[in-house]
């Protein structure tokens, strides 16, 4: 392939990359905090938020330590009835993963709080995941169906 063809292909590629965000962000309707299921290919342009909610009884404090491959979000002590949350944009080429370690009294749990999965996207309404710590375990709020589901149990130690 000669250099002229390479330059044309490079030009087309750069323009295609530049146009995709414009297509993803343009809409004839105002954003109402939800997405159609067929918009999944543009998820990486959306900002996501993960919430870790302390719903423990007796005013217990919850220790929360969340990380990704690239970011350590630090250790936070969350008082009962409050939450720790953060926002991020998933990686364009995939494999975004956040996980957390939660602890209180002599109990702890470690689990993924965001990973690339269609079922998780749906339950989090495509941008907002709520993880709720209760005395009997960790729950994920299914926003679309307005319910919570038990996901993880506390471990002793």
- pLDDT tens for residues 69-115? 999 999 999 999 999 999 999 988 888 999 999 999 999 999 999 99
Is the pTM value of this prediction over 0.75? no
pLDDT in tens, the chain (157 residues): 677 767 666 666 565 554 444 334 333 333 334 444 444 445 556 899 999 999 999 999 999 999 999 999 999 999 999 999 999 999 888 889 999 999 999 999 999 999 999 999 999 999 999 999 999 999 999 999 999 999 999 999 8
The vertex-85 CA angle with 116 and 120, nearest 5°, equals 25
Point out which residues pair with 64 in neighbouring strands.
76, 102
Q: How far apart are CA 6 and CA 80, in angstroms?
A: 60
Domain spanning 48-156, CATH class: mainly beta
């Amino acid at each position: 392939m000669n250099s002229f063809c390479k330059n044309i292909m490079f030009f087309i590629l750069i323009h295609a990359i530049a146009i995709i965000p414009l297509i993803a962000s343009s809409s004839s309707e105002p954003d109402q905090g939800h997405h159609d299921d067929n918009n999944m290919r543009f998820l990486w342009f959306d900002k996501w938020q993960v919430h870790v909610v302390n719903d423990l009884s007796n005013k217990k404090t919850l220790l929360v330590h969340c990380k990704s491959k690239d970011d350590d979000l630090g250790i936070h002590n969350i008082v009962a009835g409050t939450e720790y949350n953060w926002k991020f944009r998933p990686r364009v080429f995939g494999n975004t993963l956040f996980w957390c370690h939660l602890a209180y009294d002599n109990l702890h749990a470690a689990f993924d709080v965001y990973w690339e999965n269609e079922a998780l996207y749906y339950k989090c309404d495509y941008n907002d995941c709520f993880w709720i710590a209760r005395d009997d375990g960790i729950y994920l709020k299914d926003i679309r169906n307005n319910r919570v589901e038990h996901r993880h149990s506390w471990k002793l130690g």
